[in-house]
Chain A
């Protein structure tokens, strides 16, 4: 039945301290060494190896990401420069063709003007020649008329 025996007995009791204490302490110290070699060290090695592996991978991935970003920026600047280069070439070609067109136009204009001028001069000279001939003929005719009139008289 209920047998409460707290302090009364000469032997036993709740607060009976004896050699159990140091032996238990030795047992716990031994357990610490056993658990250290059986549990804490091996599990720690595995966990820390994995943590290192994971953190290394993260660092590597970060490096790769930054490299990719750098390459991307590089490509972007290359693209930009290629674009401006293309624009420059296009505008240059446009200018050149414009120039060529203008030159050809001018040349044709000049030629046309020259031939027009030549034709005009020719017409003028022919006109004056014809006029000279006509006035000479008129002179001849008038002389003839005058001579005939004088002779008849």
Chain B
């Protein structure tokens, strides 16, 4: 039973077939459970808003303030308001996915194929997030500065043009692979350690995993905000 409990499955998925398209079911299952929990938590906290915050409302206000500071420092005073919900959603989604993947013993639930885990340990999720970030910074730049957005590509000197174009590809690539790699590696390390030494030894690594998970969420949101801020920044 123990070996079964500690077994590792990498790169196996629970496939859902809808017509011609195939989905990774385990990603959606965990994301729905975690996002449902997040939405319940938020609805409870914002149910009875008071001017004098108590309990959950206090926590949510702290979170809101944290996200606002993040968005404001990276994007700037002028347009941070428009992008705060997006940055905040990225942060909350990545954070809830990472921590949910690390904290909840998903392995106890048996699937016909693959296993439940952090939605961010699937490359599809991280690429989806990274592409959304790319679209957002293009949209932010074009909607704020119009065609002048492309001045950014030749900003200090036109020599920068190829590098800046390359950056448009490396940004989503690094965003998606950083998150994917970190979370998957954490799951693998914990999985391998649990498989080898099922007692005590994996615990410090699990704590390290929680730390990495939180840091990755912060990095993802901060970089997304930074890219948007870079796109809307006025050059003088």
Contacts and interface: CB of A to CB of B under 8 A. Distances in A.
A101 interface: no
A31 interface: yes
B27 interface: yes
Given A14-B184, A47-B64, A21 B128 contact: yes
Contacts, number: 136
Chain B interface size, under 10 / 10 to 19 / 20 to 34 / 35 or more: 35 or more
Interface stretch (B1-9, B140-148, B155-163): B1-9
Interface string A4-28: 1111010111111111111111011
A10 to B, nearest CB: 12
A28 B132 CA distance: 9
A135 interface: no
A23 B119 CA distance: 13
Contacts of B222: none
B195 A22 contact: no
Given A21-B124, A38-B42, A14 B10 contact: yes
Contacts of A25: 128-129, 131-132
Chain A interface size, under 10 / 10 to 19 / 20 to 34 / 35 or more: 35 or more
Interface in A35-76: 35-36, 38-40, 42-44, 46-47, 49-50, 53
Contact of B24 (A1, A20, A36, A39): A20
A41 to B, nearest CB: 8
B49 A20 contact: no
Contact of A43 (B22, B49, B86): B49
B84 interface: yes
Interface in B84-136: 84-86, 88-90, 92-93, 114, 119, 122-125, 127-129, 131-132
Interface string B61-101: 10011011000000000000000111011101100000000
Given A2-B7, A25-B132, A28-B93, A17 B127 contact: yes
Chain A at the B interface: mostly helix, strand, loop or mixed? Answer: helix
A118 B29 CA distance: 139
Given A18-B21, A19-B21, A28-B93, A13 B11 contact: yes
Nearest to A9: B11
A15 B71 CA distance: 31
A21 B125 CA distance: 6
B42 A28 contact: no
B12 A12 contact: yes
A43 B46 contact: yes
